[in-house]
Each structure stands twice: as structure tokens, then as C-alpha cells.
Amino acid sequence: MSKFQNSVLGVTGASGQLGRQTIENLIERGATQIVAITREPARLPDLAARGVDIRQGSFDDAASLAAAFKGIQRLLIISTDNLGVEGGRAVQHVRAIDAAEKAGVRHILYTSLTSPYPDPAALIPNDHFWTEARLAAGKTDWSVLRNNMYADAVLQSAKHAIASGKLFHAAGTGGRAYVTRADCAAAAAGALLSAEGKAIYDIGGPEAVTQAQVAALLSSLSGKLVAAENVSAETLKGGMASAGVPAVFVDVMTVFDTDTAQGYLGIVSDAVARLTGRRPQSLADFLTASKGLLTA
């Protein structure tokens, strides 16, 4: 039995992909009191039918959070997808932490990013850095789950790379410890059920994978030659912009690459294995299992 199996465990963002999968893991692992917080409770009737307490709450509305977090002992705060507004996510996350403290939550868990740092021009690392800083300055115990880039995200760029035969990037020879969303969810559930004190977990896959290696994987799975082409950040930005990628994503994707080139996303750790009891899935195994999606 896990130490906190019978504690009141809360998960925000419960109708998002990571939130829902985390709750599925908690149910499978025998958690007895699960609270799912979402902006849209009507999207979770199946979880309600399985005994999950569904509550309405939005990080944009402190009053909703006061009610939603009542009685929760351990709370997973899932970072939002609100990328359009500078500092918007950090403001939302800090509001959620404030509300959790006021509600008496004892342990807060937060889904961060590998190697966050303060720089307003780097939206995602900046938001996570300031959220982590607020947690560290707070009153509760905490677990920071620094999720590396999802292996699932490779599926989105892979189709274009396979069709064009080119995988443009600005990541140099830097690697990423890609991790599946499913492993992030299993690790989050494991941390909700067992983590104590104040700790940072680098949630990543079993090895750091370069873009040249990603291209080789796509070639072998698709049967079509895909070549990785390392370009400057400016060239990458220009290419994405002319392909119609929205400006905010152009910036975000370029920062991921330049951070990768500096080694920020190459951290490999045993955190997933410690929190789940099994090795994380490799990018190669994940893409092989998703081959149908790649070649469709």
C-alpha cells in the first residue's frame, strides 16, 4: 500500500490529457479519495461514475479555487496551456498555489519543465521558474515534477519531416530525454501517492536523443529518407513563420531548440523509475508503437 493511498488527493486540469491519465493511474493504484478539478466538470461524467469527486475550478478565479481545494491534503497543480499572454501562466499558477495554501493543502506537486530559468523572452522556462520560486518560498511541502519534452510531441512534427525529407532544427548536437505523456502521468500519480518533503524530480526518458537520431528513427519507421538539418535560430524562426506557425509557437519552439543545444534538456535521471517502479519508455519504442500514426 502506498503511504498516501487514503489521503485526499487533488488533481487540477482534470479534463486535460495529463490530468485525466494521472487520475486513471491513481484509480488503478488504489487511491480512495480523489478530487478532480477542472473548468468544465461536464466533461468528466465517467470519472464521477467511478467515485471521483468532480469540482469546478479555474486558475483565473480565486473564489472557485477556494471551494475546489477544500479538504484536499495533497494537490497536483498541472501547468496550464495559456501561452498567449506574457507571464500569464505564472500568474495563474501562483494564484493556484496561494489558494492551496489558504485551503490547508499540506503537499503541493507541480508539473514544471526541465531546467527552467528566468528570462521573459523565453516564455515557458520563465513561467516555470517563477512558479517554482513561489513554491519554494511557500509554507507547504512540495514536489516539482520537471517534465522533459513529450515524446508525443514528436508525432506532430514527424509527418511534415517525413513528407519533406528534412527535419529542420537549431538544437545542434544537444539531446533531449523525451518522455511519454503516459510516463509523466504515472510519475505524477506515484509522487501524489508517495513523495514527501521538498524535492525536484527530473521526469525524463531513458536517454538523451539528438535531432539526428530522431531523423534516423523517422527514416527507419517510414521507409523514407529524413535528414536532420541544423540551422540558425533565425533561419528556423523564418521557416516556421513562413509556414504559418503562430508567432508565440515560433518563439517557444525556437527556445526549446536553443536550450537543447545548450544541454538544458539532456538531463537523464531515474526519477520515473523511482516513482512508478518501471523504466520509462524510450522514444524509439514509443514511435515504433505509434508507427500507424506516423505513416498514415
Ligand X SMILES: NC(=O)c1ccc[n+]([C@@H]2O[C@H](COP(=O)([O-])OP(=O)(O)OC[C@H]3O[C@@H](n4cnc5c(N)ncnc54)[C@H](OP(=O)(O)O)[C@@H]3O)[C@@H](O)[C@H]2O)c1
The contact set with ligand X (CB under 6 A) reads 12-19, 38-40, 58-60, 78-82, 92, 111, 147, 149-150, 153, 181
What grid cell was written down for 27?
484509480
CB of 288 to ligand X, least distance (A): 20
How many Å apart are CA 210 and CA 213, to the nearest integer? 5
CB of 225 to ligand X, least distance (A): 27
CB of 149 to ligand X, least distance (A): 4
CB of 151 to ligand X, least distance (A): 9
Whole-number CA gyration radius for the chain: 19
> 167 or 185: whose CB is closer to ligand X?
185
CB of 1 to ligand X, least distance (A): 28
Q: How many CB atoms lie within 10 A of CB 105?
A: 25
Report whether 82 contacts 49 (CB < 8 A).
Answer: no
How many Å apart are CA 169 and CA 239, to the nearest integer? 10
> 59 or 264: whose CB is closer to ligand X?
59
CB of 237 to ligand X, least distance (A): 19
Q: What is the DSSP string of 208-264?
A: -B-HHHHHHHHHHHHSS--EEEE--HHHHHHHHHHTT--HHHHHHHHHHHHHHHTTT
> 219 or 280: whose CB is closer to ligand X?
280
> 13 or 174: whose CB is closer to ligand X?
13
> 16 or 125: whose CB is closer to ligand X?
16
Report whether 255 contacts 113 (CB < 8 A).
Answer: no
> 111 or 219: whose CB is closer to ligand X?
111
> What contacts 243, CB < 8 A, 6 or more positions away?
none
